[in-house]
């Protein structure tokens, strides 16, 4: 279906959503399926009837969303390292997927200062290897590379970044994502020009929030660990502005982009932004306050910013006009909806409830 529309039409038409009919019975190879985004994406794809093969190095956190969703019951769950081209190629060849979704990464900015070589190896050579394995495997029609809003050269200015802005990155994580974008672009130009062959796309999104993220050094997991355990709530850089969005928003973008680029070669070989509306661009302090209001903390949070702390971006906005106009994608949940769904999920976790059931309910609410 042709979705291209004028900017005015894009404002008033309902958001495009993933189509169950496209995914039903389709084999999808997903790297990073044990991580935060990968677990939500796997649950959603399974609910739409996809046959899933996941490839990840480890289960990165304890507790983990992968285990809370009991995803090992729903998909083929492989352990492997994306820096190992031969293991990856064998896994993709055995899975015979139609679509490869690459989410595996060393995903943390602060850790990238401690482990720059591993970060580049995983995020840059991992991307090379996924693309190489995909192009060596007959039958793979589309490979989607998940990078980050941090791939852009951040000028710390008030304007949002467009897909045409230069790649960059101050720290090893951000720069590795800029490099991964350049790799995807070179592979697309060099090896994906046949409209009947492999198509390559990349997707850039910002800070996501949502239930079940337990990564270190991320605001919501750090707050939730403190709120659940009663430990002090330590916040760094409370005045930094980030584009907050619920995890289902960019995942919806990845799925809609995959569907559309699969059908229409003119949408492939390029990067796509999936950011929130500008009213979701808030300071770290605003998010912390809203979460503490919903889960009253005895003493509130404490600013533990250290003048000597490593550099992290202060101001970063994404312009998603291209996805709105060419894909019909746009955010569906307000920041309050995103925070409510996230806090509800952590409450259910604290109660020992059925998180797979709640995850499916939240996906159903998002797509309703």
Chain residues binding ligand NAD by CB under 6 A are 31-32, 34-38, 56-58, 60, 81-83, 103-107, 122, 126, 146, 148, 205, 207-208, 215
Q: How far is the CB of 135 from ligand NAD (least distance, A)?
A: 19
**Residue 126 Cβ, how far from ligand NAD at the closest point, in Å?**
6
Q: Closest CB to ligand NAD among 61 and 270?
A: 61
> Within 13 Å, how many C-alpha atoms sit on residue 216's CB side?
8
The token duo for 202 is 């990349």
Percent helix, percent strand, percent coil in the chain, to nearest 5 = 45, 15, 40
Nearest to 147 by CA among 189, 178, 116: 178
User: In sequence order, what are the residues at sequence separation of 6 or more whose Cβ sits closer than 8 angstroms to the Cβ of residue 308?
Assistant: none
Radius of gyration of the chain (CA): 19
Q: How many CB atoms lie within 10 A of CB 162?
A: 14
By the 10 Å C-beta count (0-12 exposed, 13-18 middle, 19+ buried), 311 is classed as: exposed
Shortest approach of ligand NAD to residue 156 CB, angstroms?
18
In degrees, rounded to 5, the angle at the alpha carbon of residue 274 between the alpha carbons of residues 354 and 316 is: 105
Q: How far is the CB of 115 from ligand NAD (least distance, A)?
A: 11
Closest residue to ligand NAD in the complex (CB): 35
Closest separation between CB of residue 32 and ligand NAD, Å?
3
58 or 263: CB nearest ligand NAD = 58
Nearer to ligand NAD, 126 or 226 (CB): 126
Cβ–Cβ under 8 Å, residues 28 and 53:
yes
Nearest to 41 by CA among 335, 200, 249, 199: 249
Minimum distance between the CB of residue 216 and ligand NAD, rounded to whole angstroms?
A: 9
| Residue closer to ligand NAD, measured from CB, 37 or 330 | 37
38 vs 271, beta carbon nearer ligand NAD: 38
CB-wise, 10 or 248, nearer to ligand NAD? 248
Q: Which of 31/68 has CB closer to ligand NAD?
A: 31
Q: For 53-63, give one letter per residue: b (16+ CB within 10 A) or e.
A: bbbbbebbbee
Is 68 or 106 the residue whose CB approaches ligand NAD more closely?
Answer: 106
- Cis bond upstream, residue 256 (ω within 30): no
Q: How far is the CB of 122 from ligand NAD (least distance, A)?
A: 4
Instruction: Write down the least CB distance from residue 107 to ligand NAD, Å.
Output: 4
Nearest Cα residue to 209 out of 351, 337, 323, 305 = 337
- What are 221's two structure tokens? 């997991």
Question: Encoding tokens for residue 55?
Answer: 């490839």
- Residues, the chain, total? 368
């Amino acid at each position: 279906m042709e979705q291209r529309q004028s900017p005015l039409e894009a404002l008033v038409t309902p958001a495009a959503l993933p189509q169950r009919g496209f995914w039903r019975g389709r084999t999808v190879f997903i790297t990073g399926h044990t991580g935060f985004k990968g677990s939500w994406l796997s649950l959603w794809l399974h609910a739409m009837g996809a046959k899933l093969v996941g490839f990840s190095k480890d289960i990165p956190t304890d507790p983990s969303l992968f285990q809370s969703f009991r995803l090992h019951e729903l998909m083929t769950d492989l352990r492997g390292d994306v820096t190992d081209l031969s293991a990856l190629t064998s896994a993709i060849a055995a899975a015979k997927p139609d679509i490869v979704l690459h989410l595996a990464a060393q995903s943390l900015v602060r850790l990238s200062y401690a482990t720059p070589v591993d970060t580049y190896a995983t995020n840059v050579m991992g991307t090379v290897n996924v693309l190489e394995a995909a192009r060596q495997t007959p039958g793979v029609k589309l490979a989607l590379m998940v990078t980050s809003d941090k791939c852009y050269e951040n000028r710390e200015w008030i304007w949002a970044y467009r897909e045409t802005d230069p790649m960059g990155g101050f720290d090893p994580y951000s720069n590795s994502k800029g490099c991964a974008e350049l790799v995807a672009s070179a592979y697309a130009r060099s090896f994906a020009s046949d409209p009947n062959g492999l198509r390559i796309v990349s997707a850039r999104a910002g800070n996501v929030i949502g239930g079940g993220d337990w990564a270190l050094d991320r605001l919501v997991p750090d707050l939730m660990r403190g709120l659940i355990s009663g430990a002090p709530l330590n916040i760094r850089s409370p005045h930094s502005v980030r584009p907050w969005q619920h995890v289902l928003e960019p995942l919806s973008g990845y799925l809609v982009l995959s569907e559309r680029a699969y059908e229409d070669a003119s949408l492939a070989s390029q990067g796509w932004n999936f950011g929130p509306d500008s009213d979701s661009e808030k300071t770290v302090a605003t998010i912390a306050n809203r979460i503490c209001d919903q889960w009253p903390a005895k003493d509130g949070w404490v600013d533990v910013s250290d003048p000597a702390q490593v550099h992290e971006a202060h101001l970063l906005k994404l312009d998603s006009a291209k996805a709105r106009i060419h894909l019909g994608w746009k955010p569906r949940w307000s920041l309050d909806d995103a925070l409510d769904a996230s806090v509800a999920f952590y409450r259910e976790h604290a109660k020992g409830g059925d998180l797979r059931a709640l995850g499916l309910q939240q996906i159903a609410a998002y797509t309703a």
